[in-house]
Amino acid sequence: ISKVLNTLELIMRNLKVRGGKNRCKTRHLKDFYSTVNVHQFTSGVRMGKYCYDLVIKCIASHRYEEAIKLYWILCHDKTIIDHARFKVGIILLMNMEIQDKNDCLLSFFRSMLNALHLNMNEVLLEFIMCAFKCEIPEIQTQVKEFKNRKILSTYKKHDKDSILDDYMVLLEWCNSFSGDMNRSQSQTNKEVTKLKKYTEDSDMFILQLIKLMELCDRQYEIENELQNYVENNPDNINALIYICTYLYHRHPNSEKLINYLEILAEKCISDVRTLWLIEIWQEKGVSSLKILNYCFMFLDYPTNGENIKAWKALWKNLTEAQQDSIDDFEIYSLWKSRRRSWMWMYFNPQKLPVTQSKDKLIAYKVAFLLMFSDGKKYIKKVFKYHPATFELGKSLKNFTCVDDRQFIK
């Protein structure tokens, strides 16, 4: 990364020089070619796309000054989507120590309002959030200015005059600026309640509402708002995800959380929060056969196949079911009904890497197959190329099955 950054600094130095177009562009051309292989950046893909990954790495390691330099290139590459520029720009502005940060934020959001492929509602919401955090004075005046720009007059209208009007109501409701908006507090609350029942843009709205409540020290209202959102949008999976996530981090053992997780699992068993429900059920001593069924259904989705927590939960409940003297036929029937698809998805020897490593995910798969005395070809390849992983799979738990070495032979 350091080598690429040095090269990019050199490019930027050349581009910043204004006098003598051709001369300044070629001044350090020889040095540039000796530093980096330019062809990798010009073979059908613009340099900005390579810079994007570097920007993310710099932000993750809190190297914001380097990220700003790379961001300059992103802003001049038309192949980079507006949404990426917008999100990265906000992160950098909010984390950098910049003089006149408020003016920089206003300038940034004004420029973003001219972007062709951005959701203007989202831009306004993000501005409100940043304005609260940076304590920008006269937030409403700035929002009105952005709202009245010509670019917004052609934007798709909400069923009401504009959803931006509703955001202004939200802003008033959070700060109680009723006098400035010539609207009574009861009318404000009524309009906010009406907006929260609207479904088209409500996911975006409710998330920002929760953030604003946290900023305005109104955490005590958040749970009720999320519950109301679920009731008003019973078919919205995201509504259940929001309330489950909130309760899991604040009331991890509550019955309310279990109820919502069960509803979410019924509607979308593949969601990763199903593992939260399995974890809670294990602690509460729910029937291991019931938990096993959920583990199997969760792993029926290939997108969850690399989730080591899911395989660990599956293996743990298999051993507990065996210890609880649950009928072996019931356990085996869960495997038999999906054996063919799982053997192709998860236990295909051709998909197994040959480089030796101690992979715990593969170890859980080995232990699972040994439990059912199945997957001979897969286990033989693991035994050949991953002996340490094979031994780890054996040692995960004591279980009753055929002799493993005899099985391999």
- The reported pLDDT for the residue numbered 279 is 93
CA distance 71 to 366: 46
pTM: predicted TM-score of the whole model, two decimal places? 0.59
Highest mean pLDDT among 3-17, 84-98, 252-266: 252-266
157 pLDDT above the threshold of 80: no
Task: Give me the phi and psi of 122, to 5 degrees please.
Answer: -65, -40
Higher pLDDT, 165 or 254: 254
Task: Give me the phi and psi of 49, to 5 degrees please.
Answer: -70, -35
* Residue 243 structure tokens: 């309330």
- Categorize the per-residue pLDDT at 37 as very low, low, confident or very high, splitting at 50, 70 and 90: very low
- Categorize the per-residue pLDDT at 47 as very low, low, confident or very high, splitting at 50, 70 and 90: low
Higher pLDDT, 148 or 133: 133
CA distance 82 to 112: 8
102 pLDDT above the threshold of 70: yes
- The reported pLDDT for the residue numbered 150 is 43
Higher pLDDT, 189 or 160: 189
The share of the chain scoring above pLDDT 90, in percent, equals: 15
* Residue 365 structure tokens: 């798969």
400 pLDDT above the threshold of 50: no
Higher pLDDT, 292 or 29: 292
Instruction: Say which range, 22-36, 105-119, 142-156, has the weakest mean pLDDT.
Output: 22-36
- The reported pLDDT for the residue numbered 138 is 64
| Average of per-residue pLDDT across 115-128 | 71
Contact 270, 301 (CB under 8 A): yes
- The reported pLDDT for the residue numbered 88 is 84
Higher pLDDT, 180 or 67: 67
Q: What is the mean pLDDT of the chain?
A: 73
